[in-house]
């Protein structure tokens, strides 16, 4: 049994937030132009919002579980592993019942502990998390082993910010309110007007964004499986195999108040406008997402011999996911998984105990013996990313994408940081329609890094020793570039302007006391 207790004190923009883009200062014809900084100088925001949550909720969940596992030696060469696990990941409660959940079917907020609503704000317990597991290991001739397994696993995805059910009457949010400049009309939002005074909304007439968790919300589910063959030779081990997974019931946020594509102001076209004119978005956590992962993996391991240890592996993989289209949540799209789909990855780690000075004595032994060098390296292809419109064409209040013709990926010899892909392959979709490009069509730059260190042990007495360490990260000072500008219509579209979280060469020196 796991009893979780935690609190989250978070107001994303308690003092308000103004957004600026090129729309208020563009040509007004839908063909581009304008600049976000020009819109800022003129005081024409694209949207304005405030997310304010006073106080710190105290959340609780109860998670009972039970499992059974057994290893069965079926024959002298075959071992079978059987397992069964059962989990109940309880829905959130709050110590003072400060939960308010948007119910898209009833079109209202369910406030915990009020009007017959449960302490979980209507979210039901999920009792379906039964997890069988099966694995085997078979010893084959010629020093070979075949291993495989299959298992069903669950992950409780009701612990993230979208599930905290912070809504009226426990919040004082405003907006987001969007300018009519988004639909190529004169702007109606002005920086000089500021924001209205803080007002705690009535749950019967909420304003701004409301969030919710589906009343029948279930834990993410993944079927994971693998089949690997290992061969030993000369004290080394080579492994080759397949690893895969299939995910379903994955968390996906669905906006039930997304306006249909059309001309004019966004807010009057929202489905809830007649009943709740001040609600902008109504985002509810659902279980509509799916995923697939397939990978071939090859591993070489040299066990410690002669002071040298080395492990290297290569993975050839493809990760895909099904998500909701940001301009129309009735559309489910398959595409490569953003920031996760890495087709090729090679990794190596090694350490070598230098043989010098082991037979020496005195000062020569102390200086030349007990040195160790270590290295690690990786090389991988770029992660997937999606091309979006810098300025919305559908005018729904959500994002959308342009039209692509042909293959926008350039040959490797033609890619530069100024032009990572062929920007001429993209064009604007007709007004109030989405383009044909799918999610995560392209991949970013290759990433690589080599690290090196050298250690020297100085014996003190018994098991005590000092270790002198010199470590160099990114030894070759390789530049790992970030993703290119993926906003069609922006001035930097297709260019790379940063190295993301990549580090330059760094060196550090230290002393470690071991006992």
pLDDT digits (tens, 9 = 90+) for 370-406: 899 999 999 999 999 999 999 889 999 899 999 999 8
pLDDT digits (tens, 9 = 90+) for 200-222: 778 898 888 899 999 999 999 99
Over residues 483-503, mean pLDDT: 92
Tokens of 315: 């993975």
Over residues 129-152, mean pLDDT: 97
Percent of the residues in the chain that have a pLDDT greater than 70, as a whole number: 98
307: left (phi over 0), alpha (psi -120 to 50) or beta: left
Residues in a beta bridge with 161: none
Give the number of other Cβ atoms within 10 Å of residue 495's Cβ: 16
Is the previous residue joined to 84 through a cis bond, with omega within 30 degrees of 0?
no
Over residues 315-337, mean pLDDT: 96
pLDDT digits (tens, 9 = 90+) for 191-204: 999 988 887 778 89
**Are 375 and 450 a contacting pair, CB within 8 Å?**
yes
Q: Which of 383, 375, 259 is CA-nearest to residue 311?
A: 375
The reported pLDDT for the residue numbered 30 is 58
pLDDT digits (tens, 9 = 90+) for 295-321: 999 999 998 888 899 999 999 999 999
* pLDDT band of 106, cuts 50, 70, 90: very high
Judged against a pLDDT cut of 80, whether residue 29 lies above it is answered with no
pTM of the model: 0.85
pLDDT digits (tens, 9 = 90+) for 470-490: 999 999 999 999 999 999 999
Residues 6+ apart with CB under 8 A from 354: 307, 371, 372, 373
Over residues 438-446, mean pLDDT: 94
Over residues 433-441, mean pLDDT: 93
For the ranges 154-163, 165-174, 242-251, which has the lowest average pLDDT?
A: 154-163
Judged against a pLDDT cut of 80, whether residue 33 lies above it is answered with no
* pLDDT band of 343, cuts 50, 70, 90: very high
pLDDT digits (tens, 9 = 90+) for 253-293: 999 999 999 998 899 999 999 999 989 899 999 999 999 99
The reported pLDDT for the residue numbered 271 is 96
């Amino acid at each position: 049994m796991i009893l979780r207790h935690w609190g989250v004190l978070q107001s994303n923009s308690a003092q308000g937030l103004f957004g600026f883009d090129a729309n208020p200062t563009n040509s007004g014809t839908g063909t581009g132009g304008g600049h976000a900084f020009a819109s800022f100088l003129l005081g024409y925001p694209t949207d304005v919002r405030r997310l304010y949550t006073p106080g710190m909720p105290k959340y609780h969940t109860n998670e009972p579980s039970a499992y059974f596992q057994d290893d069965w030696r079926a024959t002298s060469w075959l071992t079978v592993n059987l397992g069964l696990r059962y989990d109940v990941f309880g829905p959130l409660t709050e110590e003072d019942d400060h939960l308010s959940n948007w119910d898209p079917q009833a079109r209202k907020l369910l406030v915990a502990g009020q009007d017959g609503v449960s302490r979980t704000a209507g979210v039901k317990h999920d009792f379906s998390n039964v997890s069988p597991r099966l694995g085997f290991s078979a010893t084959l001739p010629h020093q070979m082993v075949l291993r495989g397994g299959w298992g069903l696993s669950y992950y409780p995805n009701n612990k993230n910010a979208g599930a905290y059910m912070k809504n009226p009457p426990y919040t004082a949010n405003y907006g987001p309110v969007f300018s009519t400049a988004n639909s190529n009309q004169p702007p109606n939002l002005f920086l000089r007007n500021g924001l209205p005074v803080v007002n705690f909304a009535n749950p019967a007439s909420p304003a701004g964004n409301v969030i919710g968790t589906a009343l029948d919300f279930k834990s993410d589910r993944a079927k994971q499986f693998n089949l690997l063959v290992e061969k030993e030779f000369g004290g080394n081990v080579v492994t080759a195999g397949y690893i895969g997974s299939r995910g379903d019931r994955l968390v996906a946020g669905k906006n039930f108040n997304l306006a249909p594509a059309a001309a004019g102001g966004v807010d009057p076209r929202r489905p809830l406008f007649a009943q709740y004119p001040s609600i902008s978005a109504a985002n509810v956590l659902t279980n509509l997402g799916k995923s697939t992962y397939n990978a071939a993996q090859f591993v070489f391991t040299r066990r410690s011999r002669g002071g040298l240890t080395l492990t290297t592996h290569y993975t050839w993989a493809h990760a895909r996911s099904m998500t909701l289209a940001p301009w129309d949540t009735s559309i489910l799209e398959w595409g490569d998984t953003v920031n996760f789909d890495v087709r090729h990855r090679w990794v190596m780690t090694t350490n070598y105990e230098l043989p010098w000075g082991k037979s020496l004595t005195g000062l020569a032994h102390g200086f030349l013996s007990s040195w160790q060098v270590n290295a690690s390296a990786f090389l991988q292809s770029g992660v997937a990313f999606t091309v979006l419109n810098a300025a919305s064409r559908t005018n729904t209040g959500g994002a959308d994408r342009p039209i692509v013709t042909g293959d926008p990926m350039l040959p490797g010899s033609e890619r530069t940081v100024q032009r990572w892909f062929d920007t001429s392959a993209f064009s604007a979709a007709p007004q109030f329609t989405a383009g044909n490009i799918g999610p995560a069509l392209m991949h970013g730059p290759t990433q690589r890094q080599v690290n090196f260190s050298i250690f020297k042990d100085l014996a003190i007495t018994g098991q005590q020793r000092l270790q002198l360490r010199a470590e160099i990260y990114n030894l070759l000072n390789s530049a790992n570039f970030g993703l290119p500008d993926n906003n069609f219509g922006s001035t930097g579209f297709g260019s790379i302007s940063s190295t993301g979280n990549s580090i330059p060469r760094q060196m550090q020196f230290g002393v470690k006391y071991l006992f």
